[in-house]
Structure 1
Amino acid sequence: MARVLAETTLELTDSRTPISFVKTGTDNWPVWNRFIYLNGQPACEIGNICNTCQFDFERLGGASPGVDSKYVIEQLNDGVASLEPELLRTVAAIVPAGRYRAVLLKVWPQLVKLGGPLDYFAHEQVALWGVEGFWGLPHYPKIQYYRGTDDDLGEKRKAYEFIVPLFPQGWLDEERVAHYQRELEAGKTPTAISLSVLDVKGPAWLNPDNPLPEFREHWCLAHYLLDGHHKLYAASGLGKLIHLLAFIALDECIVDEEANFDTLLQAI
């Protein structure tokens, strides 16, 4: 079943959001690590620019309960099924300047227990890259995240979908979660908002002495939640569908060519 309800491209040139993308590096590599900042503080590391290195993300100390989106909250609570220009203009106020593919998606979030059977970093990533060399352990993202839907893209490529909260479920308001559970059980499909990044990554070399993994290239689509933490948690607990308005940041992704976005959206 196709999961893309609507999509469009847009460029934002005037943004006053407290959210920003930041890249850092060293003298040898002026641009290497990528971050999402909130209110001038690093909230999440979103991996490096190397397309042969493993994919990762990690929650950092600047993460907080999110951004102020009260002016669109009611429409998002009721759910949206299309990308009306007025809605996009309103929601875009919390998105950093840049070029985007705005995609309205159906998602079935599954909350991941770190180290458990759904943990990408403990299983699929280790199968392709092995454990992290310095620690001798799988990557630890410091936040329980959600898995979405994986898609076989053919030619030993696979798309993996991640939904990454800014804060853990222990910070959620139980009454608000219960409210969304009632809404979902009544048949409503609320909408969350994310700042999203696609990283296409695969190791430069595979040891022929080890069993070769089925998939040699991972297309990792990570949705970093701006609004909708309570909705996602409620939906995952009930196994319900939710909509996600994903702003895929074209200038922040690790892809060989922009045609990769079309390949991904056609597959899902």
Structure 2
Amino acid sequence: MDLKLQGRKVVVTGGTKGIGRSIVRMFTAEGAAVAFCARSQEGVDAEVSALEAEGAKAYGEAVDVSDKSALERFVSNAAEAIGGIDIIVANVSALAVGGDEESWKAGFETDMMGTVRLVDAAMPHLQKSDAASIVTISSVSGREIDFAAGPYGAFKAALIHYTQGLAFQLAGQNIRANSVSPGNTYFEGGVWNQIEAGNPELYADSLALNPTGRMATPDEIANGVVFLASPAASFITGTNLVIDGALTRGVQF
């Protein structure tokens, strides 16, 4: 299937590790120009160099997405560097699972407002595109109560509501908006790799819940994200795509 991404301009937050890195690489493999950010300048520079060595057009910055001014500057710089914006993917999370007030603040500023501010900053560029698309990364923790109940689950649920609201509000402008809810996703250095080492009982219990007997790979999540974002999904808007290997049991009507 031709995803019709050749020459498209994409902005991704959190693009150097795990799911975000796979999303960036899949877009560039399809011929898109991609701008991305992450917290580490070293990590950003390494990814930009690797992508450019493969012939891709890439731009990156070290950005804390909870910093409104910094995020807005990044979006402006990204649009200039890659020649506009057709697609945005809001991927960053504070991974705040504690019940303390600081965790709630971190989840709100990073997961929720980091997404809202990305959309707002990119909107003037999206309005000029003939294939504008927004994808937000939620989680199965936004659908059901699990060990991440609290700020993480609450804000991931809010992202789904926010995104479906965008889909309705922006449909007349031909701007699509969808969310993706990954299940447990394993990669070296990721949260489940850390849990496997630091809390093997939780890891074993979580793994046992999935009838496939394994966790997702970042590429398996990115496949869904890139398809939903692409012009190939031109009439899909307002949906939440669950990619979890049948982990969750709630029926989506």
Q: Which has the higher helix share?
A: 2
Higher relative contact order (CA 8 A, sep 6+): 1
Same-fold status (TM-score > 0.5): no
TM-score, normalised on structure 1?
0.28
TM-score, normalised on structure 2?
0.29
Instruction: Name the larger-Rg structure.
Output: 1
